[in-house]
Amino acid sequence: MSVPLARTDSFPASPALRDQRGRPLHDLRISVMDRCNFRCTYCMPESIYGDHYTFLGSQQRLSFDEIERLCRIAASLGVTKLRLTGGEPLLRPKLHELVARLRRIDGITDLAMTTNGVLLGRHATALREAGLDRVTVSLDTLDPALFHRMSGGRGALDEVLAGIEAAQAARFPRGIKLNTVVQRGVNDHTVLDLVQRFRGSGIVPRLIEYMDTGNRNGWRHDAVVPSAELVAAIHARWPLDPLPPSRDGEVATRFRFRDGQGEIGVISSISAPFCGDCSRARLSSEGTLYTCLFATQGTDLRSLLRDGSHDEALHERLRRTWLRRNDRYSEERRERRLRAVRKIEMHYIGG
């Protein structure tokens, strides 16, 4: 159970921290739930995360009070963007209430969520009214049978598409994106169909190279489809022109369709790592801060939230954690084919 908040006066906004490689802290990704209603093979394979698997109990996860408190302190250290992730964030009851609370934090200019979309139809309007700016939906294929298989036999494509339609109707001010993880020999042959479906819709597909996240997805380098290969295939069908980044530290390389029918993005963590611009920290649902998606260890914040510590202690731990940061796993993987022995699982900290 959470200890009552030991608040102090709010901290004045300060220039963004810089880590050991000069990278600022601008983005905080918050896992509000370690559970998921899918069992995607590259994240939570059914063979490991079956009915026998023990997830966190509700008292182990951070409360909304605790998340809001941490986000206020993070904003004082330069964070301007928050993204709610999972697991599946919409499994967390009353998530719109947390959105409303985070929306009111001074300095937060972008509030987003990543979801598998199955429950989005029920919640899109409430999330929009609470102040959510944008939604990203994970959608790996439009082939119903393949979608069902890739989601571990638990996902229904029509429910995800209905969720996307509900998000369109809700009119999120910063729009909707799709995250598509592309695996050679699995769903790479369906990419053009997906791109065609959403051309001209205002929805932006982002094609993601299959990554070695966690320790349990059986990742192989030969299953990666390089972004350049995907861009070439799309360009041959619908000519593309490159677009500049929309902001510093953007992970996707953007292209627009020459005929004006929207844009796509590619995320190339394997073939063209972007560690040098990474401005993201990740907070797990049980209150551990990670400074890299591929981290092997994190920094405990929950103990300070629950032992009566004042905000100054949390502020200092966050500050020191970022100042010590020196992660560049994806670049090291490319340079030396390095792979960490034991990384944090993606469902604890989001993608």
- pLDDT tens-digit readout, 174-194: 999 999 999 999 999 999 999
Q: Report the pLDDT value the prediction gives residue 220, as an integer from 0 to 100.
A: 84
**Any binding-site annotation on 334?**
no
Mean pLDDT of 121-150: 97
**Any binding-site annotation on 125?**
no
**Any binding-site annotation on 275?**
yes
Q: Sheet containing 299-300: which strands, arranged edge to edge?
A: 240-242, 253-257, 263-267, 204-209, 176-182, 134-138, 110-115, 81-85, 27-31, 280-283, 288-290, 299-300
- Give yes or no for residue 332 having a pLDDT over 90: no
- Give yes or no for residue 266 having a pLDDT over 90: yes
**Any binding-site annotation on 278?**
yes
Of 153-167, 284-298, 308-322, the one with minimum mean pLDDT is 284-298
Q: Report the pLDDT value the prediction gives residue 44, as an integer from 0 to 100.
A: 79
CA distance 77 to 61: 23
Comparison of pLDDT for 153 and 314, the residue scoring more: 314
Q: Report the pLDDT value the prediction gives residue 20, as an integer from 0 to 100.
A: 92
**Any binding-site annotation on 112?**
no
Beta strands 176-182; 134-138: pairing state: parallel
- Give yes or no for residue 7 having a pLDDT over 60: no
Q: Report the pLDDT value the prediction gives residue 170, as an integer from 0 to 100.
A: 98
Regarding pTM above 0.95, the answer is no
- Give yes or no for residue 4 having a pLDDT over 80: no
Average pLDDT of the residues of the chain? 89
Q: State the angle between helix axes of 95-103 and 120-130 in degrees (0 to 180), rounded to the nearest 10.
A: 20
Q: Report the pLDDT value the prediction gives residue 129, as an integer from 0 to 100.
A: 98
CA distance 19 to 280: 11
Of 10-24, 46-60, 107-121, 201-215, the one with minimum mean pLDDT is 10-24
Q: Tell me the one-letter amino acid at 229.
A: E
**Any binding-site annotation on 282?**
yes
Percentage of the chain modeled with pLDDT above 90: 69
- Give yes or no for residue 340 having a pLDDT over 60: no
Of the candidates 104, 56, 103, the one whose C-alpha atom is nearest the C-alpha of residue 84 is: 103
Q: What share of the chain is helix, strand, coil (3-state, %, to 5)?
A: 35, 15, 50
Q: Report the pLDDT value the prediction gives residue 213, as an integer from 0 to 100.
A: 62
- Give yes or no for residue 198 having a pLDDT over 90: yes
**Any binding-site annotation on 180?**
no
**Any binding-site annotation on 80?**
no
**Any binding-site annotation on 83?**
yes
**Any binding-site annotation on 296?**
no
Mean pLDDT of 18-23: 93
**Any binding-site annotation on 184?**
no
**Any binding-site annotation on 292?**
yes
Comparison of pLDDT for 250 and 264, the residue scoring more: 264
Beta strands 240-242; 204-209: pairing state: unpaired
Residue count (the chain): 351
**Any binding-site annotation on 81?**
no
**Any binding-site annotation on 35?**
no
Tell me if 176 sits within 8 A of 115, measured CB to CB. no
Mean pLDDT of 78-99: 96
Convert the pLDDT of each residue in 40-66 to its tens digit. 877 777 777 777 788 888 899 999 999
Residue with tokens 């972004």: 227
**Any binding-site annotation on 72?**
no
Residues with Cβ < 8 Å from 148, sequence gap 6 or more?
Answer: 155, 156, 157
Residues with Cβ < 8 Å from 263, sequence gap 6 or more?
Answer: 204, 243, 254, 255, 256, 257
Of the candidates 264, 267, 263, the one whose C-alpha atom is nearest the C-alpha of residue 278 is: 267
